[in-house]
Homo-oligomer: A and B are copies of this chain.
Amino acid sequence: MKLKISMYFILILPFFQSLAQEKQPNIIVFMVDDMGWLDTSLPFGDRVMALNRKYCTPNMERLAKEGMKFTDAYATPVCTPSRISMLTGLNAAHHRVTNWTSIIKDTPTDQPDSIFNRVDWNINGFSPVADIPHTVYATPLPQLLKDAGYFTVHVGKAHWGSQGTPGANPLNVGFMVNVAGNAIGHPQSYLGKENYGNVPGKFTYNAVQGLAEYYGTDTFLTEALTQEALKSIDQPAKAHQPFYLYLSHYAVHDPIQGDERFVQKYLDRGLEPREAKYASLIEGMDKSLGDVMDYLEENNLAENTVILFMSDNGGLSLDYARGGKSHTQNLPLKAGKGSVYEGGVREPMIVKWPHVVKEGSISNQPVIIEDFFPSILEMAGVNNPQLIQEIDGKSFVPLLKEEKYLYKDRFLVWHNPNKWTHEDGPGINFFSAIRQGKWKLVYDYRKEKLELYNLENDLGEHIDLASKEKKVTKKLAGALGEQLRKWEALMPTYKNTGKAVVWPDEIRVN
Contacts and interface: CB of A to CB of B under 8 A. Distances in A.
Chain copies in the assembled complex: 2
B166 A213 contact: yes
Contacts of A146: 235
Interface residue range, chain A: 35 or more
B176 A232 contact: yes
Contacts of A112: none
Interface string A198-240: 1011011101011111111100000000001001100100010
A130 interface: no
A164 B215 contact: yes
B19 A232 contact: no
Nearest to A22: B2
A177 interface: yes
Nearest to A4: B15
Contact of A171 (B166, B179, B201): B179
Interface stretch (A5-13, A33-41, A69-77, A348-356): A5-13
Contact of A164 (B5, B217, B232): B217
Nearest to A211: B169
A203 B202 CA distance: 8
A195 interface: yes
A16 interface: yes
A200 B195 contact: no
Contacts of A8: 12
A8 B8 CA distance: 10
A246 to B, nearest CB: 15
A182 B209 CA distance: 10
A183 interface: yes
A239 B149 contact: yes
A11 to B, nearest CB: 10
A172 interface: yes
Interface string A173-204: 00011110011000000000001001011011
Interface in A141-183: 146, 149, 163-166, 168-169, 171-172, 176-179, 182-183
A164 B200 contact: no
A105 interface: yes
A165 B213 contact: yes
A323 to B, nearest CB: 29
A179 B175 CA distance: 12
Contacts of A164: 212-217
Contacts of A15: 5
Contact of A5 (B19, B163, B195, B213): B19
Contact of A163 (B205, B215, B228): B215
A105 B232 CA distance: 25
B231 A171 contact: yes
B9 A163 contact: no
A97 to B, nearest CB: 17
A229 to B, nearest CB: 11
A12 B19 contact: no
Given A5-B12, A163-B195, A212 B168 contact: yes
Nearest to A164: B216
B200 A204 contact: yes
Contacts of A168: 212-213, 215
A10 B323 CA distance: 61
A182 B215 CA distance: 11
A203 to B, nearest CB: 4
12 contacts: A105-B216, A163-B215, A164-B213, A164-B217, A166-B213, A169-B212, A171-B231, A176-B177, A178-B179, A200-B204, A203-B207, A209-B210
Given A12-B12, A164-B213, A164-B215, 10 more contacts: A5-B19, A8-B12, A105-B216, A163-B212, A163-B213, A163-B216, A164-B216, A168-B213, A198-B203, A209-B212
Nearest 4 Cβ contacts at the A-B interface: A203-B203, A182-B212, A209-B209, A169-B213
